[in-house]
Amino acid sequence: MSPRGILQFRGEGGIAGHASGYREVSTYTMDIICLLWQRETKKLFRSWSRLLMNVVAPLAFIILLGVGLGGVARLPGIAPDYLIFLIPGTVAVTVMFTGIGSGSQILWDRQRGFLKGVLVAPVSRMEIVLGHTAGGATIAVFQGLLLLVMSLIVGLLLPTLAGFCLAIIFLLLAAVAFTAFGVAIAARTGDASGLQMITGIFTFLFFGFSGAVFPISTLPAWIEPLTLANPLTYCVEGVRYGLTGMSQIHPVVCLAVMTGFCMVTVAGGAYLFRKMP
């Protein structure tokens, strides 16, 4: 923002000056967010090998586990076969892994000095969080979509357009929520090795109690409450409903939970980032 714009925003120029100032502040804020988003998304195209590995690994997991247990596992009323059941959950889990990993990259920016350079600029910390979260979420959704397309080769049936759009909405909410969650963890962790350990624990718990690999109805009674308390469960079930038309949790409930979780993590990530020394 120019000095003249700041003066107008602070009150010089009357009503017209205030309106012009607000417009300039809004445009400046969006420019900062877009620049940080662009910086994060460029990382996706600078390392195609990492991108392919992040997609090939879960695809191999789908093939090995889905085909291996396909002849043994029977899921009447839940999915036509185990492979079809496994694919939506694996896609959602991949978005979660990528989102948390992208969000936690803000610690590396801090250690390399980039974050310090941004913080001394006339940029609010909320703008930094929003830009970083938007970039990480874009990468996570892109990898989820790429895995989804490749899953068509191994047996995923083509969903309806409405179902596909619903699945994308759930993946987008999960990407934003878990990227912001990663930002929140990185904001309170000053050590890289400690960050890896903490994110590893959280990703394992999110994945293990998500219902991505086993149906919720077949879990032991003491595990089911833990699964229902896991926000990733609602993303998995929402994506599963969009792609297969079957879900053990109503899609409206899944959408409400994921929307609330997304709002909480973004607000929490921004708050913790403000408190970062």
Tens-digit pLDDT profile for residues 224-264 = 899 999 999 999 999 999 988 888 899 999 999 999 999 99
Please, what's the b/e burial string for 64-92 (b: 16 or more CB within 10 A of its CB; e: otherwise)?
ebbeeebeebebeebbeebbbbbbbbbbb
Contact in structure between 174 and 238 (CB atoms under 8 Å): no
Residue 106: count other Cβ atoms within 10 Å of its Cβ: 27
Q: Which of 53-57, 252-256, 257-261, 273-277 has the lowest mean pLDDT?
A: 273-277
- The domain segmentation of the chain, as residue ranges, is 1-46, 47-274
Residue 33: count other Cβ atoms within 10 Å of its Cβ: 21
Nearest 5°: the CA angle 255, 79, 160 is 60
Cα gap 50→46, rounded to integer Å: 9
Within 8 A by CB and 6+ apart from 102, the residues are 40, 135, 136, 137, 139, 140, 179, 182
| Cα four-point dihedral sign 215, 221, 225, 226 | negative
Q: Where does residue 13 fall: left (phi above 0), alpha (psi -120 to 50 degrees), or beta otherwise?
A: left
Q: Which of 240, 57, 254, 55 is nearest to 156 (CA)?
A: 240
Q: Contacts from 193-201 at CB under 8 Å and sequence distance 24+? A: 195/104, 195/107, 199/100, 199/101, 199/104
Q: Where does residue 9 fall: left (phi above 0), alpha (psi -120 to 50 degrees), or beta otherwise?
A: alpha
Residue 59: count other Cβ atoms within 10 Å of its Cβ: 19
- Quickly state the pLDDT bin for 104 (edges 50, 70, 90): confident
Return the H-helix or E-strand segment holding 189.
Answer: none
What is the arithmetic mean of pLDDT over 210-227? 87
Q: What is the pLDDT, as a whole number, of residue 124?
A: 74
Phi, psi of 247 (to 5 degrees): -160, 145
**What CA–CA distances, in Å, run from 99 to 69, 94, 119, 126, 158?**
28, 8, 23, 18, 26
pLDDT in tens, 139-171: 899 999 999 888 888 877 777 889 999 999 999
